[in-house]
């Protein structure tokens, strides 16, 4: 046996060494993987801890009090005006119709009642869809649940960041644990923005259809459910076809989810949107000055936050019928005075009559609170009459109506239009074409019948149909206030010709001497302090000492120099005698009058 020959290791020992290396490699990889896993899990846990520590307190939702608009009512309960930064009407869950809930769940979160804040199935589907959409450049789809939207709308910003999405997801889970599904829906349906300045479904129902929630149809509910993601994209006044298509998609989802039958869905899809252009101004005609005075009073008493977000319901003393009468009486007075003193100052504008005169006339701005006055254009004119085209109105969707209305201004309604000259007024016109020319843009109002001596109208409305009177905006201003003499309640305020023209309220903001309107107050005080209508007061010259350094005040009667001598109190008030009133006030003493 050659002891110098190298000894070969046994085959099984070599295999053992190879197997040990493989096991060591596997162990190393497992250890490395565990380290990486622990590091990633630790980093994730740290990120979640960090994000969670910065989360807002979701429990504030239980005490949520949204800013609600202030509503002003007349003495009969009719709505006058609304004041708010955001148009919002908060309603409890029990007052929200089933069709609203079903439509929003179908459109926004069909698994709302099954998930715990996050819809994992939708998230996975959205990730897969968005990855495939990267190449085609399509818009990314979302997977937010209603609960996540509550978290974002109430507690977070709208930043498109990973951190915000993490916060949203954590908050959604916590909200689901702290609140019932009904509470979450109540928050969501009262807070969501639905276009035209409306927040929440109740405000949106009024803004789009002037309806209460319980009056909404399936078609209405479905349209509201199209709006949360992009109200401007489905604006019914700008994109009606797009809005109808999206509404019908929601109706299909409602049917698919078993909330409505197929027949009900088809009936709803056949309905038009039916939206109306809701005015943001006062709801009672000619009440603008009154509403503004109430607004200033509330602002002074309670402050801006209460006015625009306190949800106040204010009952006022306004009488709608008297308010309309007051406005008409004031405007009639303006017109009568202006015609006597101001003459005709010409048309307000001119337009070309080529093409559609209605479109050109509709482009001219006009105040909304001067009805029954209308803007018109002279189409034809002759000696005896002028044919005018009336400014066309708009449909409930805001589109110009296709029909064109025309009428006639007879010569009798232009006789007053004496031309205004540098010194006074010119001669009365002898024909209509001496005043008006084709293309003239003017104001007109429906012709009213003249009254006979017994007060009965000389013509019926049917006889005067289609006839108009020439009008012009008065150059003068004034105001009228109607009060209940027994209670002092203000029943009507007309602060000028048009609130849209000028918001300056001559009834409450103008500063002027009261003049003879102060005399009844002095005579009333006299009667309360022992005087009678037959008491004698001297109607004669009087001097009043105004204090050191001031000249003597020597008042005069309206017809200067006249004096009736000793006269009864009744004579003084009937004839509005200045000297008697001043002497009476001096004799009683100003403190008792003040």
Q: What is the pLDDT of residues 492-514, one digit of tens each?
A: 999 999 999 999 999 999 988 88
Confidence band, pLDDT 50/70/90 cuts, at residue 16: low
Lowest mean pLDDT across 65-69, 188-192, 336-340:
65-69
What residue ranges in 251-383 does DSSP mark as E strands?
Answer: 313-315, 349-350, 374-381
Mean model confidence pLDDT for the chain: 87
Task: Catalogue the long-range contacts made by 54-63 (C-beta closer than 8 Å, 24 or more residues apart).
Answer: 54/167, 55/155, 55/167, 55/170, 55/171, 56/155, 56/156, 56/171, 58/151, 58/155, 58/171, 58/174, 58/175, 58/178, 59/178, 60/155, 61/150, 61/154, 61/155, 61/175, 61/179, 61/187, 62/178, 62/179
The domain locations on the chain are 33-60+96-190, 343-471, 515-593
Write down the pLDDT at residue 67.
Answer: 86
Q: CATH says 515-593 is which class?
A: alpha beta
More confident residue, 127 or 17: 127
Highest mean pLDDT among 58-72, 112-126, 338-352: 338-352
Mean pLDDT in residue range 317-345: 94
Look up the CATH number of domain 33-60+96-190. 1.10.3810.10
Lowest mean pLDDT across 101-110, 196-205, 259-268, 509-518:
509-518
Write down the pLDDT at residue 135.
Answer: 62
Write down the pLDDT at residue 222.
Answer: 96
Write down the pLDDT at residue 473.
Answer: 96
Structural tokens at position 247: 């509404």
- Kindly tell me if the per-residue pLDDT of 23 is higher than 80: no
Write down the pLDDT at residue 60.
Answer: 76
Q: What is the pLDDT of residues 225-251, one digit of tens each?
A: 999 988 999 999 888 899 999 999 999
Write down the pLDDT at residue 52.
Answer: 57
Write down the pLDDT at residue 409.
Answer: 97
Write down the pLDDT at residue 131.
Answer: 64
- Which one of 82, 102, 108, 288 is the catalytic residue? 108
Q: What is the pLDDT of residues 163-178, one digit of tens each?
A: 777 878 888 888 899 8
pLDDT above 90 covers a percentage of the chain that reads: 61
CA distance 272 to 215: 16
Mean pLDDT in residue range 172-195: 92
300-324: burial string, b at 16+ Cβ within 10 Å, e else: eeeeeeebbbbbbebebbbbbeebb
Q: What is the pLDDT of residues 67-81, one digit of tens each?
A: 888 999 999 999 999
- Kindly tell me if the per-residue pLDDT of 30 is higher than 90: no
Mean pLDDT in residue range 272-283: 77
Write down the pLDDT at residue 2.
Answer: 55
Mean pLDDT in residue range 395-416: 89
Told to judge if 82 belongs to the known catalytic residues of this protein, a careful annotator would answer: no
Write down the pLDDT at residue 537.
Answer: 94
Which residue, 333, 370, 344, 373, is CA-closest to 477? 333
- Kindly tell me if the per-residue pLDDT of 350 is higher than 60: yes
- Kindly tell me if the per-residue pLDDT of 1 is higher than 80: no
Confidence band, pLDDT 50/70/90 cuts, at residue 280: low
Write down the pLDDT at residue 548.
Answer: 86
Told to judge if 108 belongs to the known catalytic residues of this protein, a careful annotator would answer: yes
- Kindly tell me if the per-residue pLDDT of 48 is higher than 90: no
Look up the CATH number of domain 343-471. 2.40.50.140
Write down the pLDDT at residue 7.
Answer: 54
- Which one of 163, 516, 543, 574 is the catalytic residue? 516
Confidence band, pLDDT 50/70/90 cuts, at residue 139: low
């Amino acid at each position: 046996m050659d002891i110098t020959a190298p000894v070969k290791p046994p085959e099984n020992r070599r295999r053992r060494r190879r197997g040990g290396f493989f096991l060591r490699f596997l162990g190393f990889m497992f250890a490395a993987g565990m380290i990486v896993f622990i590091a990633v899990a630790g980093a994730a846990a740290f990120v979640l801890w960090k994000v969670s520590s910065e989360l807002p307190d979701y429990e504030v939702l239980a005490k949520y009090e949204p800013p609600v608009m202030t509503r002003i009512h007349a003495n009969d309960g009719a709505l006058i005006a609304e004041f708010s930064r955001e148009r919002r009407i908060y309603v409890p869950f029990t007052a929200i119709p089933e069709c609203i809930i079903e439509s929003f769940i179908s459109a926004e979160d069909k698994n709302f009642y099954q998930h715990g804040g996050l819809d994992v199935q939708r998230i996975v589907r959205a990730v897969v869809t968005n990855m495939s959409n990267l190449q085609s450049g399509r818009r990314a789809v979302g997977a937010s649940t209603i609960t996540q939207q509550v978290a974002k709308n109430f507690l977070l910003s709208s930043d498109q960041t990973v951190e915000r999405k993490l916060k949203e997801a954590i908050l959604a889970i916590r909200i689901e644990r702290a609140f019932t599904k009904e509470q979450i829906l109540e928050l969501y349906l009262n807070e969501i923005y639905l276009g035209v300045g409306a927040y929440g479904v109740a405000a949106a129902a009024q803004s789009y259809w002037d309806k209460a929630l319980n009056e909404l149809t399936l078609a209405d509910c479905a349209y509201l459910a199209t709006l949360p993601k992009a109200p401007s994209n489905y604006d019914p006044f700008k994109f009606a076809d797009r809005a109808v298509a999206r509404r019908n998609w929601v109706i299909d989802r409602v049917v698919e989810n078993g909330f409505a039958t197929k027949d009900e869905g088809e009936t709803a899809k056949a309905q038009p949107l039916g939206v109306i252009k809701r005015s943001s101004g006062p709801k009672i005609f000619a009440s603008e000055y009154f509403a503004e005075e109430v607004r200033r009073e509330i602002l002074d008493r309670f402050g801006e936050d209460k006015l625009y977000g306190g949800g106040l319901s204010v009952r006022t003393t306004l009488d709608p019928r008297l308010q309309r009468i007051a406005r008409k009486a004031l405007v009639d007075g303006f017109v009568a005075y202006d015609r006597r003193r101001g003459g005709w100052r010409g048309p307000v504008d001119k337009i070309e009559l080529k093409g559609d005169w209605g479109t050109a006339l509709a482009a001219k701005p006009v105040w909304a609170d001067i009805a029954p006055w209308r803007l018109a254009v002279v189409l034809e004119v002759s000696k005896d009459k002028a044919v005018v085209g009336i400014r066309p109105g708009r449909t409930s969707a805001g589109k110009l109506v296709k029909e064109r209305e025309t009428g006639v201004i007879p010569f009798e309604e232009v006789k007053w239009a004496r031309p205004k000259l540098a010194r006074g007024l010119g001669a009365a016109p002898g024909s209509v074409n001496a005043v008006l020319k084709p293309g003239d843009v003017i104001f007109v109002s429906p012709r009213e019948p003249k009254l006979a001596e017994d007060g009965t109208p000389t013509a019926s409305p049917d006889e005067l149909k289609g006839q108009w009177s020439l009008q012009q905006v008065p150059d003068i201003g004034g105001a009228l206030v109607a009060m209940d003499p027994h209670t002092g309640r203000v029943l009507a305020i007309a602060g000028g010709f048009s609130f849209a023209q000028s918001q300056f309220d001559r009834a409450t903001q103008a500063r002027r001497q009261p003049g003879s309107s102060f005399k009844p107050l002095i005579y009333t005080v006299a009667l309360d302090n022992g005087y009678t209508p037959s008491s004698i007061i001297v109607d004669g010259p009087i001097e009043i000492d105004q204090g050191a350094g001031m000249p003597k005040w020597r008042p005069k009667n309206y017809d200067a120099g006249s004096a009736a001598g000793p006269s009864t109190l009744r004579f003084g008030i009937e004839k509005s005698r200045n000297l008697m009133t001043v002497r009476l006030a001096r004799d009683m003493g100003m403190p008792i009058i003040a």
